[in-house]
Chain A
């Protein structure tokens, strides 16, 4: 919210400097977002007259203007504003002027073949408001060639503060002044809000509030005042200048008065042209299909949850949000009906959200407006209407009741120290709360505090502690170390937290980059990878490719691979350790470690190198990555179960599933060629997925001591065997059989050669193994070794149905 120093001083008697005020605003919780001397910032802009405006020969939306800026000669200016027209008085910037709203300095130029020496400006370009709709329109009688800041009276310091949702009381300059006074920065000045005598009965009766018992009802007390025979028109310069300085466009005296009350006291009003109201207006909820043509020139559809002020012809105003064009005041308005009403903040917020209307009224009313201001607000406005427009005020027309929280809090003074650590004298606590408007009774350790009507956010002890703390200053809270509970650190990470950390480092150590990709992906991709159920879809996604919670990390990684390939980086090794969503229940969230390698990005490195030829990634690269993670987590990939049952995304013959008992731990494989085509991927991809939550919890160890190490003094020896077996026989089966032939002496079996070809027979393959035999207590004789060898051959041929190769 913006306000000027002048305006503040109308409510606060203070000698404090603008800087001091700015710092104090932040200290008390009204964060200063900006502070500027507008007169200085805008001193180069001058008033000007558009002597002629003609269509640009080469651009439909541009006009070529001849501008009189008081220099004695006409200046050529190309202008794109729709309202740049012959005869208009506006605001002009000479070449070399800094335009704050565009963060640029305007130069001399040539726009599509036409000379342009300066710029006609909008309010947004001067950062006076967000009004981009066109260049500033000044009255016909505005002087030409004078400083715009002088003309418009923009010469003071403007503060811009941000107001938290709990501080409806600070949405007016008066409330801000009250906070500053409570801090000790000056004295709050009183405002005359006494009733203005009436001249007679109101032609408009108090508005009936027509709501069924079960209907949502936004209106509480509705105050209206009929003021007859006003003389409307532009408001006086002081009021226009004040509004302009804070970014509001002056409209007419009546409307400007409502804005003055809204900004000054945080009390929004609405003014109707009483002669445009047909019949007796009422308060009711909108009917299905009703619309309102609102003051922002947009038409909104209304529903039964929205309260409107309506006459015989339908809605006049959307309650608490925005008025309608049909009954708006104009310079010709003679009879005014002024509204000052209180509304249910939650329902105002809901209607605001539904319609998407952002208005000054909604901003204040959804933060709660002081219910004690409903009638005084009306009087304040009436008084100024009398002053500026004359007229005869009629009896106020009041219906409904305000809602006062009337909160009382029993406040033990020790609470301040208990929650903040601050020691504050009872007298000071008392003074702070009193200056903020709290009524205090009782003495001693516990005060009885009555909360003022404008602070409905204060409901309990902790709220009062905050009031005291923000006035004393958080910086004055003494810093105290937090003592440790125990000096021997327990384990701070859980098992799964450690697994994620280790998996990340293990994969990065294998040359993969860690990516973090979106938790949501497109519905198509989610469905393709096994997700896409209703409970995992966002109801209000931000983009069409971010609609569904991901069932797998692969779509995100593959999309990254595609983007990298499009940038010429087709050899990619990336992984992600992150959450996937198998259902919308908490247990449906699992952490996966998933990685892909593309192109030639193998463990040794990608691309061509003098030390060896580049090779495309293959299924064993993915298996090795998966194995490395398992190993880092304390599991041996050769000891879990491997099944030739690949994931749907995998090449059916070049991929596998890893399991432990009934639980699937993960998958690895080459990307299915058909999937690659559908995913628009034309380079080799291998991938693995590992469900870190599926790994069994490690057994609790009884001891940290490792088993005794047996170092044999006897030399190990090796023997080689080659078997011809069916292609379908797995290496794992052969290794298992060989190992089982003599569990005491056979220490290790490895496969050192595998080949297929016509010489081993159609549908056959040769698998050569090396067996390491470790004698335990005596050197083995030739007979011993022959016996072991025969056992190995017998075991393998029996299991595999193959033969020993001669």
Chain B
């Protein structure tokens, strides 16, 4: 058989064997039978040595060509086998990706609407340049009433349904604060320059701009009144602020808080011992549907009380009411939270019912900011 025929036969046989190899082992057997030490192609290569130089000149490239060709086929086949094996493995490795995950902790935990609302209020007022001030829940009768111009025995005290504390060791008559207004006095009065505890905001010099959120207490209980609730109070003291700016602050706040472009307020003359003139403020709303819509409609909803700080209060703070003036306002945090987010019953706020907390609570990373929007 001529060398050419030998090569052709070998090429045909080996190609067929490579193509037929069903796995890496069979392919390797073919490789050994062809390219191994004793393989058919190797044997042919070895025969070059016994050839005449002339003959070798043409046979060499032909045999080497065959070797390269077979090696190439084996490599390709090996690649194909590997890829088929991977395909088979991958096919066997599928999972049901619809299996549900456990909710992430951040998806389960909730911030209480009261805390969220305080954060919203804080975001708005800190942008207007107000800082946050605080005082104790157990207050003296002096800070809760007397300093705020509540005369002894006045019916206004009765309106407050005060919780009284039994007499403590220091013999000072104490109450649970009925409003956050005592913080006003602590912020203004020099006696509170070095408060007993670090959470109590020390007295400051005018100009004063503070917002005072906190827990308050009254002996009262029904669907819209609980013996404990939350109030936020605001105070501006300087030498010029008047009702015109009070109106602006409240309008700006309510627009920002309710996230509406316009709000119409109705100011009604009213009475509070610690402000003069005093006003109650109603906000325009629509009660025709199941939810109260703020900023539209033809109804009014009472939302807060405010006024110019009473000259007696300014005097009690140790300031001259002919030089210093300013305004204050107060509103219920729980109440404005209910108005914005639609909780029907105040009592449920304090029950710790997981279903309620999950439903009305806020995600931990829903941090109210003005740049990101108060609520998402």
Q: Which residue numbers of A lie inside 8 Å of B, CB to CB?
A: 26-29, 31, 164-167, 346-347, 349-350, 353, 366-367, 417-422, 460-463, 465-466, 469-470, 474-475, 477-482, 484-486, 489-497, 501, 504-520, 533-543, 546, 549, 556-557, 559-561, 563-564, 567, 569, 572-574, 577-579, 581, 583-589, 591, 603-605, 609-611, 693, 697
Question: A506–B112 Cα gap in the complex (Å)?
Answer: 13
Q: Can you name 7 A-B residue pairings with CB atoms under 8 Å? A: A346-B154, A349-B154, A366-B155, A418-B242, A494-B134, A574-B354, A589-B137
Q: How many residues of B contact A (CB 8 A)?
A: 103
> Residue of B at shortest CB range from A535?
B168
A535 with B167: CB separation less than 8 A: yes
B277 with A482: CB separation less than 8 A: no
B129 with A485: CB separation less than 8 A: yes
| Pick from B99, B154, B195, B244: contact of A586, CB under 8 Å | B195
| Pick from A29, A420, A491, A549: contact of B270, CB under 8 Å | A29
Question: A460–B270 Cα gap in the complex (Å)?
Answer: 17
B353 with A536: CB separation less than 8 A: no
B180 at the interface (CB under 8 A from A): no
> Residue of A at shortest CB range from B140?
A586
A54, chain B: closest CB distance, angstroms: 40
Map CB proximity to A onto B278-293 as digits: 1 under 8 Å, 0 otherwise. 1110000000000000
A519 with B105: CB separation less than 8 A: no
| Pick from B155, B245, B325, B358: contact of A480, CB under 8 Å | B245
| Pick from B103, B106, B165, B277: contact of A584, CB under 8 Å | B165
A534 with B168: CB separation less than 8 A: yes
Map CB proximity to A onto B59-97 as digits: 1 under 8 Å, 0 otherwise. 000000000000000000000000000000000000000
B10 at the interface (CB under 8 A from A): no
B255 at the interface (CB under 8 A from A): no
| Pick from A492, A519, A567: contact of B132, CB under 8 Å | A492
Question: A589–B167 Cα gap in the complex (Å)?
Answer: 17
B165 with A535: CB separation less than 8 A: yes
B249 with A482: CB separation less than 8 A: yes
Residue from A460, A492, A533 with most neighbouring chain B CB atoms (10 Å): A492
| Pick from A474, A482, A581: contact of B236, CB under 8 Å | A482
Question: Which residues of A lie under 8 Å from residue B126 when comparing CB positions?
Answer: 489, 492-493
Question: A318–B251 Cα gap in the complex (Å)?
Answer: 49
B268 with A31: CB separation less than 8 A: yes
B236 with A539: CB separation less than 8 A: no
B200 with A505: CB separation less than 8 A: no
Question: A534–B122 Cα gap in the complex (Å)?
Answer: 36
Apart from A489-B129, A542-B219, A587-B196, 20 more pairs, CB < 8 Å: A29-B269, A31-B270, A350-B153, A367-B155, A465-B277, A470-B277, A474-B243, A480-B248, A491-B131, A493-B126, A494-B199, A501-B119, A504-B111, A510-B109, A513-B108, A516-B352, A535-B165, A542-B220, A546-B227, A567-B355
B201 with A167: CB separation less than 8 A: no
> Residue of B at shortest CB range from A490?
B131
A418 with B268: CB separation less than 8 A: no
Question: A556–B156 Cα gap in the complex (Å)?
Answer: 32
Question: Which residues of A lie under 8 Å from residue B110 when comparing CB positions?
Answer: 508, 513-514
A538 with B228: CB separation less than 8 A: no
Question: Which residues of A lie under 8 Å from residue B308 when comparing CB positions?
Answer: 419-420, 462, 465
A534 with B111: CB separation less than 8 A: no
B276 with A478: CB separation less than 8 A: no
> Residue of A at shortest CB range from B171?
A535
Question: Which residues of A lie under 8 Å from residue B152 when comparing CB positions?
Answer: 346
Question: Which residues of A lie under 8 Å from residue B364 when comparing CB positions?
Answer: 504-506, 508-509
Question: Which residues of B lie under 8 Å from residue A167 when comparing CB positions?
Answer: 271
B247 with A460: CB separation less than 8 A: no
B244 with A420: CB separation less than 8 A: yes
Question: Which residues of A lie under 8 Å from residue B132 when comparing CB positions?
Answer: 492-494, 497
Question: A165–B273 Cα gap in the complex (Å)?
Answer: 9
B198 with A693: CB separation less than 8 A: yes
A745, chain B: closest CB distance, angstroms: 36
Question: Which residues of A lie under 8 Å from residue B358 when comparing CB positions?
Answer: 513
| Pick from B166, B228, B278, B357: contact of A539, CB under 8 Å | B166
Question: Which residues of A lie under 8 Å from residue B349 when comparing CB positions?
Answer: 516
B156, chain A: closest CB distance, angstroms: 5
A589 with B197: CB separation less than 8 A: yes
Question: Which residues of B lie under 8 Å from residue A494 when comparing CB positions?
Answer: 132, 134, 198-199, 201
B257 at the interface (CB under 8 A from A): no
A486, chain B: closest CB distance, angstroms: 7
B138 with A581: CB separation less than 8 A: yes
Question: Which residues of B lie under 8 Å from residue A485 when comparing CB positions?
Answer: 129, 207, 209
B237, chain A: closest CB distance, angstroms: 12
Question: In the complex where A469-B269, A516-B350 touch, is A585 in contact with B170 (Cβ < 8 A)?
Answer: yes
A513 with B109: CB separation less than 8 A: yes
B55 at the interface (CB under 8 A from A): no
Question: A475–B271 Cα gap in the complex (Å)?
Answer: 17
B107, chain A: closest CB distance, angstroms: 8
Within 8 A of A (CB), among B251-275: 251, 266-271
Question: A28–B271 Cα gap in the complex (Å)?
Answer: 12
Map CB proximity to A onto B119-149 as digits: 1 under 8 Å, 0 otherwise. 1001001111111101111100000000000
A421 with B245: CB separation less than 8 A: yes
A729, chain B: closest CB distance, angstroms: 33
B102 with A466: CB separation less than 8 A: no
Question: A770–B244 Cα gap in the complex (Å)?
Answer: 69
Question: Which residues of A lie under 8 Å from residue B278 when comparing CB positions?
Answer: 466
B115 at the interface (CB under 8 A from A): yes
| Pick from B102, B151, B352, B355: contact of A609, CB under 8 Å | B102
B153 with A347: CB separation less than 8 A: yes
Question: In the complex where A419-B325, A589-B197, A611-B102 touch, is A497 in contact with B166 (Cβ < 8 A)?
Answer: no
B54 at the interface (CB under 8 A from A): no
B121, chain A: closest CB distance, angstroms: 11
Question: A465–B327 Cα gap in the complex (Å)?
Answer: 14
B136 with A586: CB separation less than 8 A: yes
Question: A552–B74 Cα gap in the complex (Å)?
Answer: 78
B190 at the interface (CB under 8 A from A): no
B63, chain A: closest CB distance, angstroms: 50
B56 at the interface (CB under 8 A from A): no
A488, chain B: closest CB distance, angstroms: 10
B167, chain A: closest CB distance, angstroms: 7
Question: A420–B307 Cα gap in the complex (Å)?
Answer: 10
B169 at the interface (CB under 8 A from A): yes
Question: Which residues of A lie under 8 Å from residue B201 when comparing CB positions?
Answer: 494
B174 at the interface (CB under 8 A from A): yes
Question: Which residues of A lie under 8 Å from residue B215 when comparing CB positions?
Answer: 519, 578-579
Question: Which residues of B lie under 8 Å from residue A578 when comparing CB positions?
Answer: 215
A535 with B166: CB separation less than 8 A: yes
| Pick from A347, A367, A484: contact of B129, CB under 8 Å | A484
A462 with B129: CB separation less than 8 A: no
| Pick from B199, B228, B352, B363: contact of A519, CB under 8 Å | B228
Question: A605–B108 Cα gap in the complex (Å)?
Answer: 9
B243 with A477: CB separation less than 8 A: yes
Question: Which residues of B lie under 8 Å from residue A419 when comparing CB positions?
Answer: 242-243, 277, 308, 325
A462 with B276: CB separation less than 8 A: yes
> Residue of B at shortest CB range from A462?
B276
Question: In the complex where A346-B152, A482-B128 touch, is A513 in contact with B174 (Cβ < 8 A)?
Answer: no
A563 with B352: CB separation less than 8 A: yes
Question: A536–B131 Cα gap in the complex (Å)?
Answer: 30
B330 at the interface (CB under 8 A from A): no
> Residue of B at shortest CB range from A463?
B276
B16 at the interface (CB under 8 A from A): no
A557 with B352: CB separation less than 8 A: yes
Question: A611–B96 Cα gap in the complex (Å)?
Answer: 13
Question: Which residues of B lie under 8 Å from residue A418 when comparing CB positions?
Answer: 242, 325
A589 with B199: CB separation less than 8 A: yes
A584 with B102: CB separation less than 8 A: no
Question: Which residues of A lie under 8 Å from residue B269 when comparing CB positions?
Answer: 27-29, 466, 469-470, 474
Map CB proximity to A onto B172-208 as digits: 1 under 8 Å, 0 otherwise. 0010100000000000000000011111110000010
Question: A26–B200 Cα gap in the complex (Å)?
Answer: 39
Question: In the complex where A542-B219, A581-B138 touch, is A164 in contact with B357 (Cβ < 8 A)?
Answer: no
